[in-house]
A = this chain, B = another copy of it.
Amino acid sequence: MVEEMTMSTPGRGLHEFTPAVRAVVAQAGVREGLCTIFVRHTSCSLTIQENADPSAKHDLEVWLNKLVPEHDPIYTHTAEGPDDMPSHIKAALTATSLSIPIMERALVLGMWQGIYLWEHRRAAHTRHVVVHVGGA
């Protein structure tokens, strides 16, 4: 089963969508298998991170912005705005696809793991994520 989902992001930061992925897995109805999540963009990405304390995702965002600042004089790819090239770099350093096994009809996520779309652009965007579920 393959399902495309559309998400609206309010701008930069980690936006959790674990419930939407769990819903696709439930609908697929496989007992044992593999769920793969893929983001169809190069200026946002995916990550699995702590879902308990919001300070963790805040710090991830601040740290990555410091590592990959806007207006670095090395950038030549500047036509799409000062936040575009940093977004591509951040996407390359994190994940475009993630795979999570399924056991007993559920994702094997750890207790503190949530699935996040990491928006790297400043403006609100509509993002497309594809979820594939295989198994039996």
Contact = CB atoms under 8 A, between A and B. Distances in A.
Interface string A53-78: 10110111011101110001011110
B85 A74 contact: no
Contacts of A41: 110, 112-113
Interface residues of A, number: 60
A48 to B, nearest CB: 5
A96 B48 contact: yes
Interface of A: 1-2, 4, 32-34, 36, 38, 40-42, 47-50, 53, 55-56, 58-60, 62-64, 66-68, 72, 74-77, 79, 85, 88-89, 91-103, 108-110, 112-113, 128, 130-132, 134-135
